[in-house]
Amino acid sequence: MLRDKDRYLNIVLVSPSIVAVLIFIYGFIAWSGRVSLSKWKGLTPDYTWNGIRNYLDLFSDPRFAVDIRNTLIFTGVFVGGSLVLGFLLAVMLDQGLRGESFFRSLFLFPMAISYIVTGVVWRWLMNPAMGSRMSGLNLLFANLGLDPLVNAWHTTPKWGMAAIALAAIWQMSGYTMAIYLAGMRSIPHELREAARIDGASEFQIYRRIILPLLAPVTLSALIILGHMSLKVFDLIIAIAGKQLQLDVPAIYMWQATFDGLFYARGAAIGMILLISVAVLIIPYLRYTLKTDSQP
């Protein structure tokens, strides 16, 4: 048990951080919420009450509908691709091969690179130019005789977001591999041995034993990758710039707020992003806290 004096000291030491978090995180969230309910347009603050008008306008805005569609495509391809690729890589590395640490480091390395650098490199790789100016992956495919794979990448109508997601998969699948591999290593070896004695094949062991036991790992990866994809901004800017075809809510928020000075609309988009991320994160945090507090 802490003495009263120690308890008092602890509160004093922690309070500056708590005050900073309350002001700079929750205070500014509340301020953004207030701005989103105002008529602020232009450089001069205008807190005239506008109710939920900005939100209603957004949901009837065709550009915001494109943003939602693009976000869904990006999230589906990115999260699905990272989970599948990460799991397959972890299964292969779990076989105790020679050179495992080399492959593990290689697959994890892209995570150390910023989204902007990844975006610039993948913009060069996914250059959609054809003919004499063909370069990057298209040139590689053409030289290898894989002409059906030559495509317009992120300039493809409708599915251009999937090409952007490819760069994100390259960056984050190593992370998924690492957490799946850590999860696999924590599963007692006796379980696999028992299954083998019962006549289970390796595929059945992974399908019926390993994968269900890795459900919490999958959930963690799903939440982390999911909230990253909802906030994606820099990767798209680095690969394609500001294009309506590849627009997402974060880019719309930037343009509405800083290019168009529609502060109230920008704040409304920010609040929608916050709520969509919170819908993912809060149940996960509650689940984690609950499982951590169990003896």
Partner 1 sequence: MKNLGLSKNWLYIPLLLMAIFYLLPLYVMLVTGFICRDRLEDNVEPATGDCL
Instruction: For residues 40 and 150, give the distance between their C-alpha atoms in angstroms, rounded to a whole number.
Output: 47
Residues 199-228 that bind partner 1 (CB under 8 A): 201-203
Nearer of residues 37 and 93 to partner 1, judged by Cβ = 93
**Binder to partner 1 among 25, 92, 182, 285 (CB under 8 A)?**
92
**The binder of partner 1 chosen from 106, 191, 278, 285 (CB under 8 A):** 106
Judged by beta carbon, residue 124 or residue 258, the one nearer partner 1 is 124
Binding partner 1 by CB under 8 A: which of 21, 116, 129, 289?
Answer: 129
Stretch in the footprint of partner 1 (CB under 8 A) among 30-38, 62-70, 128-136, 255-263: 128-136
Q: Which of 118, 138, 229, 257 binds partner 1 (CB under 8 A)?
A: 118
Residue 117, interface with partner 1 (CB under 8 A)? Answer: yes
Kindly indicate which of the ranges 37-45, 127-135, 226-234, 279-287 contains the residues binding partner 1, using the contact rule CB under 8 A: 127-135
Closest CA to 152 of 182, 178, 187, 126: 126
Nearer to partner 1, 49 or 203 (CB): 203
**Residue 133 binds to partner 1 (criterion: CB under 8 A):** yes
Binding of residue 8 to partner 1 (CB under 8 A)? no
By CB under 8 A, residue 87 contacts partner 1: no
Per CB under 8 A, does 146 bind partner 1? no
Provide, rounded to whole angstroms, the least separation between the CB of residue 106 and partner 1: 6
For residue 157, give the nearest of 230, 66, 60, 65 by alpha carbon.
Answer: 66
Contacts with partner 1 by CB under 8 A lie at 88-89, 92-93, 95-97, 103, 106-107, 109-110, 117-118, 121-122, 124-125, 127, 129, 133, 135-136, 170, 174, 196, 201-203
